[in-house]
Amino acid sequence: MSPRDIQAPDIFAPSVQLNLNIRGLGLSATLAINERSAALMKQGRKVSKLGLGQSPFPVPDIMQKALRDNAFQKDYLPVQGLYGLREKICGYLQRTQGLDFDPEDILIGPGSKELMFLLQLVYYGDLLIPTPSWVSYAPQAQIIGRPIRWLPTAPENGLGVTPQVLHDACQNDPDRPRLLILNSPGNPTGTAYTPDQMLAIAEAAREHRLLLLSDEIYGGVQFDGRHQSAARYYRGGTIISDGISKWAGAGGWRLGFFAFPKSLSWLKDAMAAAASETYTSVSAPIQHAAKVAFEGGPEMELYLHRSRQVLEALASFVTDQLTDAGARVNPIRGGFYAFPNFDPVSEKLHARGIVTSEQLCERLLEETGVATLPGSAFGRPDTELSLRLAFVDFDGELALRALSNGETLDEAFLNRHCPRVMEGIRAMAQWARG
């Protein structure tokens, strides 16, 4: 008998060995749509890839140079992260938010996503998240076995959390530990809370002793450049989560950070202990190179300014086109997402056999070549005809170069430098009209 003929024992069957918390989970929806889009393109199909939310802009030149210059760095770094990088992050938070942190308050991780997972692993509490929310918050809680409470939102509040919703969620069993995640500017909605809204949420969070994770990964691409951290309003109970994937175009670098108030140093230490037994430390060359991103300066500021200009112009186009086609579009104040709701034209869509958000996205892809994600992937009801689109399928380097050469940022500019996004949105609007 050859080795290939030896059968695995029944104890290795998936139904026996797979952790109950993992069963039923597939590939993350955002990654799955990207792979499916690529497969269709290999078949010769024309696809507007509006599914995966990856920054279209290049990593800034000064960061690329810093990475080349630090390619020789080979040593394991401290679990909490390179001290010099943590110093730069403290300077970044002081400069952009007026918040004082020490390097000891910062924890560096291989992307903020991994840090969020470790937080839920070491902190025993229910997860409170708005619906809609980013696709990985709830699955992480499911993997770890944490209870999930979806918080209802309404269009008139920009699909954001309100104090009343928090009161309703916490009134029963008020002493129960709970983790609230706020994402502003938000994925999938583009929502950015106003200072008054943030203050009201902070007061409710303080009243109910919530641990607040402020996911600020899109803060650098809030269109008005005035992103405000929740930590300004709820200092002792807020952990700031940020990184370089969205505002510095460096998703593949896999570097994020958490900033903890002194009152939560025990939680930071627990996460660092878990990190020491899992990923050990983040890539040394990446940490050394990332210092220039957080240091700021004229080149980084110009890069951010131009990136915001392009994204804001695209957000305006998306809003106008889809609103004109009958959809309800949440105001987009940052990032590169829209979350249109086609319920206002549901009668026409139902007549075409489209009654769920998954069917909506499937038919869009098949009939127009526009790849999006269903609202149900973000916690919305299956029968709500909503979807998330990411207006990022363009060459950001060429767009930034055109701005630097003095081109006017108008619809003609977007047609020249963002053609797949423009064509995809027009096709979606035309398709929705029937």
CATH number at 147 reads 3.40.640.10
Kindly give the residue spans of alpha helices, DSSP state H, lying in 44-171. 61-69, 83-97, 112-122, 137-144, 163-170
pLDDT band at residue 11, thresholds of 50, 70 and 90? low
pLDDT computed for residue 434 by the predictor: 82
pLDDT band at residue 107, thresholds of 50, 70 and 90? very high
Q: What share of the chain has pLDDT > 90, as a percent?
A: 85
Q: Of residues 26 and 398, which shows the higher confidence score?
A: 398
User: CA-CA distance, 334 to 413, in Å (whole number)?
Assistant: 20
- Helix, coil or strand: residue 169: helix
Secondary-structure breakdown of the chain: helix, strand, coil percentages, each rounded to the nearest 5:
50, 10, 40
Rounded mean pLDDT of the chain?
93
Contact of 228 with 198, CB cutoff 8 Å: yes
Is residue 65 in some structural domain? no
Is residue 422 in some structural domain? yes
End-to-end C-alpha distance for the chain, whole angstroms: 63
Same domain, 220 and 319: no
Q: Does residue 319 surpass a pLDDT of 60?
A: yes
User: CA-CA distance, 85 to 208, in Å (whole number)?
Assistant: 34
pLDDT computed for residue 7 by the predictor: 57
How many independent structural domains does the chain possess?
2
Is residue 4 in some structural domain? no
Same domain, 50 and 82: no
- Domain of 95? 72-295
pLDDT computed for residue 20 by the predictor: 61
Is residue 6 in some structural domain? no
Is residue 245 in some structural domain? yes
Contact of 370 with 27, CB cutoff 8 Å: no
Is residue 7 in some structural domain? no
Same domain, 154 and 200: yes
- Helix, coil or strand: residue 150: strand
Is residue 203 in some structural domain? yes
Same domain, 318 and 227: no
Where a domain ends, among 280, 295, 310? 295
Same domain, 41 and 104: no
Same domain, 88 and 222: yes
pLDDT computed for residue 148 by the predictor: 95
Same domain, 287 and 316: no
Q: Does residue 310 surpass a pLDDT of 80?
A: yes
Q: What is the mean pLDDT of residues 208-232?
A: 97
Q: Does residue 10 surpass a pLDDT of 80?
A: no
Same domain, 234 and 257: yes
**Beta-strand pair 178-183/256-259:** unpaired
pLDDT band at residue 31, thresholds of 50, 70 and 90? low
Residue-wise pLDDT for 43-66, tens only, equals: 888 889 998 889 999 999 999 999
Where a domain ends, among 247, 271, 295? 295
Cα within 13 Å of Cα(19), Cβ side: 7
pLDDT computed for residue 270 by the predictor: 97
Same domain, 111 and 259: yes
pLDDT computed for residue 39 by the predictor: 79
C-alpha distances in angstroms, 409 versus 249, 298, 414? 21, 21, 7
pLDDT computed for residue 298 by the predictor: 97
pLDDT computed for residue 315 by the predictor: 98
Contact of 56 with 391, CB cutoff 8 Å: no
pLDDT band at residue 158, thresholds of 50, 70 and 90? confident
Residue-wise pLDDT for 329-374, tens only, equals: 999 999 999 999 999 999 999 999 999 999 999 899 989 999 999 9
Number of Cβ atoms within 10 Å of the Cβ of 383? 14
pLDDT computed for residue 26 by the predictor: 59
Q: What is the mean pLDDT of residues 411-433?
A: 97
User: Considering only CA atoms, which of 109, 26, 197, 284 is closest in space to residue 117?
Assistant: 109
Contact of 388 with 338, CB cutoff 8 Å: yes
Cα within 13 Å of Cα(146), Cβ side: 28
Is residue 63 in some structural domain? no
Where a domain ends, among 295, 329, 348? 295
Same domain, 135 and 89: yes
Same domain, 261 and 310: no
Residues 33-43 as b or e (16 or more Cβ within 10 Å = b): bbebbeebeee
Q: What is the pTM of this model?
A: 0.92
Same domain, 311 and 171: no
Q: What is the CATH number of the domain that holds 44?
A: 3.90.1150.10
